[in-house]
Structure 1
Amino acid sequence: MLSSAEPPPGASPANAEILVDGKPLGATAEGFRIPASHKSVSFRLGRSPEDETEGSRRVQFKLEGVDNGWRQLRSEMSLMVRFGDAAGDQVAQRIFVVEGISQGWRGSVESSAFTERRETVRVPPDSTFLTVAISSSGPPTAMGIYLVRGVKIFRNSPSGPELLFAAATDREGTDTNGWRRSGTRPSMAKMVHTSAGEAFCILDDDPNAHAEWNLPRAAAPKVQPGESLTVEWSEMYDIGTGSRFEVNYGRLNAGHYRFLTDVLDNHRQPAGRRAAARLRGPGALVEASSFLDQRVRRHRDSSLAGRPGDHPETHPATSRECRAGTLDRAGTPAHRARSAR
């Protein structure tokens, strides 16, 4: 387990455990050693939501010698178009997922740009109306920020698109079309002022809860089964996971590596809880250590200067990420849980 020698008050480093072929790597008198016969090396990071007491636990990580930069386990939120029948029952929905970090995201709402999006939907049988929801539901541990503005719905007809619905936000945090907050923590649904205007915002900082902006039935536009609709909106987002997960690097070649973790706050900024471990390839020593700031890091690095084999070697390795127990070699989750929490 990676740990910090003297964590600052109220903080602790991101929990990380080294696993070899799925089993925790035990320490010897000299430190940790990766067996030459190993098939994979992985790291188990973070805590389960039930064990978390310090708020946001989004964790970024990198294995120096393999990764070119910091990585995160991505998660997702969504904009949903829901269809209902004359009795008010939902008969279908289309879920438009956003995952990871949007193209225009630059670290803060103020410095980021919206990305335009357009989707086409077909009205299903028995539908008489549609509603829209902006939600952080899906994977229960999704955390981060999702902003949406300029939602418009057009009916596609031979004569051209006809505007069916347009969301118009105001500065008081409500919407002229009657949008409402909901979810297990509705307070995470906010209105945010951006350079482009007011925007619906989900600022999810709770791995055990979700929030939504909902267009209620009273304000829902009428539709006819079989109609073709176009949904347009602009969005920006930065979304990660706030729970325990594993990242698998496959078999490591002989060489020197250092695995770093860094806990992030909900604005993706380092929260001052960083940990590190030094690893050497199959059959060699794995030196576990940690640091709190650059002074400790410089001291440690200077003390290692001049030792043979202490410099990372870049080498090919298989990189896989795991979410909800499923590994995916491309770094993208192999399945997406889209059910509401």
Structure 2
Amino acid sequence: MLSQDSPSSVAIIEVQVDGRPQKFSTEATTRSAVPGEVTSGDGAKSEPLRISAQAQRLDFRFGPDQSSSNPPVRFRYRLEGVDEDWREAGGEMRMTVKFLDSANNIVGATDFVARGQTLGWAGNVGQSRFVPHREQVTVPPRAVGVQMELFSGGDEQTTGIMVIDELTVSHGLNTNAPNEIHLFSSRQVDGKDLDHPLGVPQHWMRDGSKPTIAQVLKLETQEPRHVLAVVDTDSKRWGAWRTGEDAIVPVSPGEVLELRWNEMYSIGWGGSREASYTYLPPGEYRFRVQSVTETGEGTGEMTSLAITVTPRFWKTRWFLGGILVVAVGALLAGVRYLTWRKVQSRLQVLERQRAIERERARIARDLHDDLGASLTQIALLSELANADLAQPELARTHLNQIFATAGGLARQLNEIVWAVNPANDTLEQFTSYICKFAQHYLSLVGIRCRLDFPDFVPNYPLPAPERHNLFLATKEALHNIVKHAQAGQVWLRLKLDADVLTLLIEDDGKGCDAEATPVTIPNVAGDGLFNMQKRMEQIGGRFTKQNRSGGGTTVRLVLPLPKHAIETYVKN
């Protein structure tokens, strides 16, 4: 094997990505210990050339290493990951038919181009087989003769080998010339020094910038044969075999000629060359350039360049992994959120059920405490009135009491109906009802009622529990004024500050015993005050009672308005 420091005869000269030159370093070359065998291993590893997946075009320029003392004859290349097999860098040889006039001037020509290698080529002439080739040409005007040429230099940088045998020209039926003319046959060949590559067959001559490219090869078969060949190992010059003047085939204009020959060849490129690839998908690639002989056998010398096409960031593993993590997290969060929503929905249903049960219990309690007591009183007064029918004055008194009790019962029933009607669950409905109630209630006892309410009361949602307890606390305060304050007038004031509702009930009566009355135990402060405080606490509010300067009492009922209630109002 070559050491990693051994110079290679092949080089990757330049790499461009979308026309922009790149900096790169190739890996060390290797040489097989067995002649003709190319190893695929690499020497010292180097950093791969990294290009973006957005690149549209990748160009390589390669050729002989100018510093090498033994430049290669021919190159092959491949991009592993794209090319399934080695690709020839180019080159072509030709079988040319030249048409001559009577002065041996060329009046026309037809080229039959050969590229790559023939089917069955085995790496050398001895083990390869001939492939028959057949063509037809039409003789142009003024042509009277045909000359054949086996030419190695379609391009001067072409290298390789082309071998022919059994070359014949057949005339059409409308000619007096022989029907078939053998220009070369290994079984009938005559000439000088045919066992030497530079021998000359009869009727043939060499031509070119390097005539020795045209050679005679001896095939070691059961019957040794000599064949015509062009063996081009020089990428800067060319050579050719041409039929001599004594072998010009006579023809007539318009005549159709049939050409037949057997051929084998392996043709490539020996100079600098370019290879291009477009729109490479993300992945790992390796561009290799291999040195081969003129017959296509590997010399073991190779240079390579590792290439990494980096994917777009949304196709990278870390991004896809991140997306997976985010997706799983989002899925778990979604499941957790849906579970939470389900639990919250269930809790809301339970809370509504509890609220309904509490409301039913309250209605039952009110019916039992208020209506039940009033109906019992009416029943007792009816019995008394019935017993006192013989005493009209006494019976009339009982009937008046029944009338008053029935009126009070009707008002209580109206309050209960108002409290349970969902249409009244707004602040506007509450203020309207409390104003009417206070004016009517106080007018019955001759107390003047003054109202201090905002000109515009927002229609905030006010649920039934808050509305009912606030009404009962206000009613209790009015009842205490009527019963104990000996007042002449009452002020009912409503204040709305941000999200807090404050209801003030003021009177000009005799006031209470202390500046401020804390209420904690019913037996100390009275059942009415304790009930007001309890009702306000149930709905998250506050209750205070204190003397006014100049006489009278002020009852303060403070209720925070839920934010969702205000938001609902603003949204609607």
Q: Is the 8 A contact 1:183 1:212 kept in 2?
A: yes
- Note if 1:233 corresponds to 2:264: no
CA distance in 2, matches of 1:110, 1:155: 33
**How far apart, in 2, do the equivalents of 1:42 and 1:246 lie?**
7
| 2:133 matched residue in structure 1 | 117
CA separation of 1:115 and 1:31: change in aligned 2, threshold 3 A? closer
The aligned amino acid for 1:155 is H
Which residue of structure 2 aligns with residue 191 of structure 1?
216
TM score, norm. by length of structure 1 = 0.74
1:17 is aligned to 14
Q: CA deviation at 1:15?
A: 2.9
Partner of 2:5: 6
After alignment, is 251-260 or 145-154 more displaced?
251-260
- Could you say which structure has the greater relative contact order, defined with CA pairs below 8 angstroms and 6 or more residues apart? 1
Conserved 8 A contact 1:122-1:226? yes
* Distance in 2 (alpha carbons) for counterparts of 1:138 and 1:59: 17
Q: CA deviation at 1:214?
A: 0.6
Verify: 1:44 aligned to 2:61, yes or no.
Answer: yes
Give the partner amino acid of 2:275: V
Give runs of aligned pairs for residues 244-259 of structure 1, distance below 5 A: 244-259=272-287
Query: Counterparts of 1:51 and 1:152 in 2: how far apart (Å)?
Result: 47
Alpha-carbon distance between aligned partners in 2 of 1:81 and 1:188, rounded to the nearest angstrom: 20
Tell me by how many angstroms 1:275 deviates. 1.4
> Greater CA deviation, 50-59 or 130-139?
50-59
Residues 101, 238 of structure 1: 8 Å contact kept: yes
Q: Decide whether the 8 Å contact of 2:49 with 2:308 is kept in 1.
A: no
Any residues of structure 2 matched to 1:1-341 within 5 Å, and which? 5-7=4-6, 11-26=8-23, 32-47=49-64, 54-157=70-173, 162-168=179-185, 169-170=189-190, 171-172=194-195, 173-176=199-202, 178-194=203-219, 195=221, 197-282=225-310
| Structure 2: distance between partners of 1:30 and 1:242 | 29
Residue 133 to residue 53, structure 1, CA distance change in 2 (3 Å): farther
Contact preservation (8 Å) 1:252, 1:282: no
Q: Percent identity?
A: 29
2:267–2:294 Cα contact (<8 Å) kept: no
Q: Which runs of 5 or more structure 2 residues have no equivalent in the other structure?
A: 26-45, 318-572
- SS of structure 1 residue aligned to 2:200: coil
Offset at residue 13 of structure 1 (A) = 3.6
Any idea what SS the aligned residue of 1:147 has? strand
Query: What displacement does 1:209 show?
Result: 0.6
RMSD of aligned residue pairs (Cα, Å): 2.8
Cα distance between partner residues in 2 of 1:101 and 1:32: 33
- Deviation for aligned residue 1:57: 4.0
Structure with the bigger percentage of strand: 1
User: For residues 96 and 33 of structure 1, do their structure 2 counterparts lie closer, same or farther at Cα, with a shift above 3 Å needed?
Assistant: same
Secondary structure, in 3 states, of the residue corresponding to 2:246? helix
**Secondary structure of 1:187's partner?**
helix
In the TM superposition, what is the alpha-carbon distance from 1:283 to its structure 2 partner? 6.2
Encode CA deviations 1:233-262: one digit per residue, 9 max, x unaligned. Answer: 000000001111111111221111122221
- Deviation by residue 1:176-205 (Cα, 9 ceiling, x = unmatched): 3x2011111011110112248321000000
8 Å contact kept, 2:49–2:306 = no
Contact persistence 2:48–2:306 (CA under 8 A) = no
Is the contact between residue 164 and residue 229 of structure 2 (CA under 8 Å) also seen in structure 1? yes
**8 Å contact from structure 2 (residues 144, 250) kept in 1:** yes
Greater Rg over alpha carbons, structure: 2
Alpha-carbon deviation of 1:55? 3.8
SS in structure 1 at match of 2:171? strand
